[in-house]
Structure 1
Amino acid sequence: MRWHELKAELLSIGSCRITGLDAAGYIERSSAGPGAGGPGSLFFSSEGRRVRLSVAADSPIEILHEGEGNAILRFGLTEVIGLLEKPALHCPRQAYITVTGRCIFSCKYCPVPLNHGRAKSPDEIADMIESVADRIDALSLTSGVLDSVEGEESRVIEVLRRIGSQTVPIGVSIYPGPKTPEKLFSEGVLEVKFNLEAATPALFQEMCPGLSWDEILRSLDQSVALFGEGRVFSNVILGLGETDEEMDACIRLLTERGVIPVIRPLTPAAHLSSFSRPVPSRLLKISTMHAHALKDSGLDTRKARTMCTLCTGCDIVPGRDYK
């Protein structure tokens, strides 16, 4: 079984149980996104390719830790020798930091509004980056919305000014206001990610009441003009109720603009806890559509230098997980 085919099987389950020696030092806990507030997750890699799985005692996927990060992944008749990777902050080789761990919006798939997180100070974030400076190749910032979109934009700008110029590239993913792309570009950010989240405007309105699909699309267009093609990204969740045809159309809507889509399999959580993860066959079908759209638009995921497309843990990434 090729890696991306195995990864589709793994992502459709989304969890693993840990056996063998203590692996506590390899487990990370998220404060943002669908995994926020959960039991933690770990990163397994083999031959430079990576998958992130949450920890669950009843998972059919076993990861046997043999010590010092050496591990064997077992699933059915498949056995893969690899490594557990220690996260720097949130993921391996990156300081991927959530500025504000709470949100005034209530997107149905997201548990962050239920977690009552807090906003980190610029000094606190600077200290966090310093603590892992020798273990990172990228710095990425994301955030909920503490009080307003404009307020969160200002908070992230304040963080960027506090940390100053860095020796590694910086990526930022927040909900954008009208001038967010311009402001982030002026602060030296290399890449941005503004998330459409859903494959259609109607589905977005259902899932993210109070937010605007069209405003995000405008921000993506502004960003490509500033940062360049292939330096702008957008999450689109697979499994919210869209058809394959709608997902394909959304992928091409983005790639034809110079935006690299991040196709994120749904993690059932919050108001969508009764939903199911996408099955492996659908993950592979959509990944093929994704690969064709990227090729047709001349976009290369291997050039990404920050955020999710660099990490690849949560998604099948054409160009990185398979050629």
Structure 2
Amino acid sequence: MKVRVSYGTAIAMGLVRGRMMVKPTTAYLMTHHNGRCRNNCAFCPQARESRADLRRLSRVTWPSFEVDEVVEALPSGRFARICLQTVDYPGLVDDVFELLEAFQPLGIPVSLSITPVERRILEEFKSRNVDYIGVGLDVASERLYPLIKDSLYSWEDMWRFTRDVVEVFGEGRAFVHLIIGLGETDREAVETIWRAYSTGAEVSLFAFTPVKGTRLENRKPPDVLRYRRIQVAHHLIREGFSPDDFEFEGDDLVGFGMGVEELAPLIPPGTFATYGCPGCNRPYYNERPSKEPYNFPRSPGRGYVMEVLSTLLGSRGSH
């Protein structure tokens, strides 16, 4: 049996030679499947109708290794956890159980991103060292979801699955993945983030990354400042704010009901870093190392927070 390993993780484990700008603190792995996914997400290299390289997910390459080789090398990476990504295909659940059984002797907690499964399967995952589940909602707009996802699972199927995960694993143990830049409005993004937290889930934000061979290969990534604005809204919602506390012009998010001086103490530097399961830093998943990251693998300094907030709100005075 084989498993895919993200390139940075493979370097950290000594499976390949290469340079790392930032060491991954989580081991990012993916199920190995010779075919494409049953779903047809417009942004994904693994999609049913994609022409992209199957070794890719977002902009990252995922070479394959024998499972025994990976299990032997994992301790050398000193990872906080394993994050197992999955491609949807017949027999997936059986493969996941086989991988979890191989990982279990290591005693490393496992986060699992998977399409909806029955509650009894979730309970079995929980008994095998899985403590967080990633929910690939991806599209932060019910309006766009069927157009972009083209999935076996509807918008409401994904929310039902989210609720099941929360009930089986507990509040804060479901991470709803949202990709910013797929055509959603700011209002849709904010309301979807709020719905996730209202359900007892958490949210992990990604930036859209065009990949050659996918249906959205010609779409541009989101503007960094727009992404920062959504990150600020995400943090505030996590702290108890609601969309009604924010300021919109049409569907554009333009303010947070306060000026820079009031807002700054509420926004820690980690707001602009990768937010996910404990130990996740996901370095340069959405951009090249030469560019400003959408999600910093380490928290930027306090000065960066002030710079961003001043740019977003400085010209708006107290609004």
**What's the TM-score once normalised by structure 2's chain length?**
0.64
Is there any run of 5+ residues in structure 1 with no aligned partner, and where?
1-30, 43-67, 70-82, 87-91
Deviation at 1:144, TM superposition (A): 0.8
Secondary structure in 2 matching 1:296:
coil
Partner deviation per Cα, 1:253-277 (whole Å, 9 max, x = no partner): 1112221111111001211011111
- How far, CA to CA, are the matches of 2:174 and 2:299 in structure 1? 17
Q: CA deviation at 1:134?
A: 2.2
**Counterpart residue type for residue 287 of structure 1:** Q
CA spacing shift, 1:303–1:195, aligned 2, 3 Å: closer
Structure 1 residue 105 displacement after superposition: 1.8
Corresponding position: 1:305 with 2:278: yes
- Kindly tell me: are residues 201 and 126 of structure 1, through their superposed partners in 2, closer, same or farther at Cα, counting changes over 3 Å? farther
Question: Matched residue of 1:237: which SS?
Answer: strand
- Residue 72 of structure 1 corresponds to which residue in structure 2? none
Query: Are 1:242 and 2:242 matched, yes or no?
Result: no
CA 1:232–1:313 in structure 2 vs 1: closer, same or farther (change >3 Å)?
Answer: farther
Letter in 1 for 2:224: P
Change (3 A) 1:153 1:322: farther
Structure-1 separation of matches of 2:184 and 2:45: 21
Instruction: Give the counterpart of 2:164 among 222, 245, 254.
Output: 222
Aligned to 2:209, the other structure's residue is in SS state: coil
What is the rounded CA distance, in whole Å, between the counterparts of 2:284 and 2:223 in structure 1?
17
Identity value in percent: 24
Indicate yes or no: 2:222 matched with 1:278: yes
1:259 maps to 2:201: yes
3-state SS of 2:203 partner: strand
Q: Is 2:235 the counterpart of 1:291?
A: yes
SS in structure 2 of the partner of residue 110 of structure 1: coil
Task: Indicate which of 77, 89, 110 corresponds to 2:44.
Answer: 110
* Count of residues in correspondence between the two structures: 235
Distance change in 2, residues 1:176/1:303 (3 Å): closer
- CA deviation digits over 1:17-48, x for unaligned, max 9? xxxxxxxxxxxxxx69xxx9xxx789xxxxxx
Match of 1:316 in 2: 295
SS at match of 2:179: strand
Q: Give yes or no for contact 2:41–2:151 (8 Å, CA) kept in 1.
A: no
Change (3 A) 1:282 1:256: same
The TM-score with structure 1 as length reference comes to 0.63
Please list every run of at least 4 consecutive aligned residues from structure 1 whose deviation after the TM superposition is greater than 4 angstroms.
300-303, 317-323
After superposition, the C-alpha distances for 1:134-156 in whole angstroms (9 at most, x for unaligned) are: 2222112111123x3xx212210
Change in 2 beyond 3 A, CA 1:171/1:209: same
- Structure number with the higher strand fraction is 1
In the alignment, residue 99 of structure 2 is paired with which amino acid?
A: V
Specify the alignment match of 2:22 in structure 1: 85
SS in structure 2 of the partner of residue 223 of structure 1: helix
Q: Identify if the C-alpha distance between structure 1 residues 213 and 319 changes in structure 2 by more than 3 Å, giving closer, same or farther.
A: farther
Partner residue of 2:101?
A: 161
CA distance in 1, matches of 2:205, 2:118: 25
